[in-house]
Amino acid sequence: MSDAMTTDLYEVTMAMSYLQEGMTGPATFSLFVRDLPHERGFLVAAGMESALDYLSSLRVDPEDVDAFASALHRPPRDLRALLGLEFTGDVRAVPEGRIVLAGEPLLEVTAPLPQAQLAETYVLNQVSHQTALASKAARCTLAAAGHPVVDFSLRRAHGPQSGFQAARLGAMVGFAGTSNVAAATAVGIPAVGTMAHSFVEAFATEEGAFRSFARSHPGPVTLLVDTYDTEQGVRVAARVLRDLDRGPGSAVRLDSGDLGALAARARAILDGAGMRDVRIVASGGLDEYAVDDLVRSGAPIDTYAVGTRVGVSADAPFLDSAYKMVQYDGRPVMKLSSAKVTAPGPKQVFRRPGYADVIGLADEQPPDDGRPLLETVMRGGRRTGDKPTLDACRATFSADLGELPSAARRIRGPDAPRATVSELLSALTARVRRRIEEGASAPAPQPSDAERTASGSHRFVPR
């Protein structure tokens, strides 16, 4: 199945109509998040690279036309106008890893109207989903307060692609590794892993399982100690690691129960056995809220493994995102629907100190203390430069996080900065709104005699 088919049917029907009407002038669509999810003080922009990959290869081939025709129950010849359509437009976007606020364009597409319309579904899907995951993962990094965080989400992610994205995005915002071998290999991040309870259950004794695992894997190992009795499991692990001289770099993993209390008891048992170099890894339904509680309580946990709740952004699994036309053929347009009003015209975001961001027009001059965030990343359907490396995206995030106000970084009850609108954008919005409202209140134009005749509504009257 080609990526061109990965779209909502109404994108196809609209693109067909545009082509038949000769409406192929340049259109600009802006992608933004209307409001932040509950308990979010910021978002981390992501998914732009996937969107650009899609746009650079977008082409409607004969099999796509056949699929569209089948979905519409029409002969393929009716959709011939779509054949060969490819993306030849321009894209401006914020770099991946950039921290963004509600209402700010993350990406703007300018292309012939049928192309820009057909791209909506895939682009919106990738940016929305990955921005949600990256933002959740970033909060885990904050909550861990310097402790390593690793990704264990693949088994319960919403499909392999989503699991891959969760691993990559976690690394982008500071995770130390992932259990996902494919992602670790492709992205170049550390692969991490321990053992499952089934491994321990397969042996007659817990000690037998630990010794077998350690013999099979030279170097530091991590032993899962809560299959039966957690405290006894820690004692057995300490004995095995000491006997095999495998303490430095090795760890025990706690996966259930009161992790704070168990970590304190495990630390005491390990220290009492002379295994101060053995670390404690905690997992089991963790997200930024649980990690924050454990860190604040002083739990002696060295590494946090986060999985299901983070890999699906459980508390905020979607964003109130939109991909809206803001200009067609040089004419600024906007939507006036209640609670979903959009601002017209191509835009730019100017970042000022303290995240006092200003949303303005794309061609206006930045404030003296502001810098533009959206960059031209595609021109004429081709990327303007190489893909940014993971290190570059990580550096962007780290720099932005360092400037983010502390109130926005809070895990509970964050206070999100709000962008303001420039005077020029406000003035344009007022003019376009007035033009639309005046047009809506004007009397409908009467059809000509020719139009009446064509519609069959004109009756001949003798003169």
Over residues 74-115, the pLDDT tens digits come to 999 999 999 999 999 999 999 999 999 999 999 999 999 999
Tens-place pLDDT, residues 207-223: 999 999 999 998 899 99
Burial class (CB in 10 A: 0-12, 13-18, 19+), 73: exposed
Its pTM stands at 0.93
How far is it, in rounded angstroms, from Cα 350 to Cα 367?
A: 7
From residue 463, alpha-carbon distances to 1, 449, 452 in Å are 64, 15, 18
pLDDT of residue 455: 40
Average of pLDDT values for 368-380? 96
Tens-place pLDDT, residues 25-65: 999 999 999 999 999 999 999 999 999 999 999 999 999 99
Tokens matching residue 367: 């404030």
- Does residue 162 carry a pLDDT above 50? yes
Tens-place pLDDT, residues 436-450: 998 876 676 665 554
- Say what the alpha-carbon torsion angle 13, 18, 21, 27 is, to the nearest 10 degrees: 170
How far is it, in rounded angstroms, from Cα 225 to Cα 231?
A: 8
What is the rounded radius of gyration, in angstroms, for the C-alpha atoms of the chain? 28
Average of pLDDT values for 200-213? 97
Closest CA to 325 of 124, 75, 78, 97: 124
